[in-house]
Amino acid sequence: MTEHVWSFKSTSGHLAGADLTGYKVEATDGSIGKVDKHSEEVGDAYLVVDTGVWIFGKEVLLPASTVTRVDPEDKKIFVDLTKEQIKDSPEFHREKHLGDAGYREELGTYYGFPPFGGRPL
């Protein structure tokens, strides 16, 4: 049910092998931070975004399917989420959650299909 959550959409403009580290990340209602780490592994693609002062210096993990567009010229990534949706996502701790299948399932359900686990947008 959530397997497509961890893949880039073919329409996003993401190019395999591109280094997205340092790209600014834009929600539908404004900037949320910069990419600190990313993966493009098939079925396990994601962005770790450093939110800076926006969420008190915390990082968030965004599944690749949330990316709507990659702009390599301006080094920006656009996601189809609002700041509030990102802020309300399950709390992320890199050391604890990056390899945690249970966390991935929880996050996949939150960002999954139907969109956002069936929660109203």
Residue 87's alpha-carbon distances to 58, 84, 94, 113, in angstroms, are 10, 5, 16, 19
> CA-to-CA distance for 43 and 113, rounded, in angstroms?
15
Using pLDDT thresholds of 50, 70 and 90, give the confidence band for residue 118: very low
Distance from C-alpha of 47 to C-alpha of 67, rounded to nearest angstrom: 9
**Is residue 95 domain-resident?**
yes
119 within domain boundaries: no
Q: Which helix (H) or strand (E) holds 110?
A: helix 101-111
With vertex at residue 60, the alpha carbon angle to CA 107 and CA 67, rounded to the nearest 5 degrees, is 75
What does the alpha-carbon distance between residue 76 and residue 70 come to, in Å, rounded to a whole number?
A: 6
Structural domain including 100 reads 3-114
What domain count does the chain have? 1
Q: What is the pLDDT of residue 120?
A: 39
Q: Is residue 56 very low, low, confident or very high in pLDDT (cuts 50, 70, 90)?
A: low
For residue range 72-102, what is the model confidence (pLDDT) as tens digits? 999 999 999 999 999 889 999 988 998 888 8
Place of tokens 């965004």: 62
Question: What is the model's pTM?
Answer: 0.87
Domain membership of residue 20 (yes or no) is yes
Q: Are strands 24-27 and 76-79 parallel, antiparallel or unpaired?
A: parallel
pLDDT digits (tens, 9 = 90+) for 35-49: 999 998 888 899 999
On average, the pLDDT of the chain sits at 86
CATH number of the domain at 44, please.
3.90.50.10
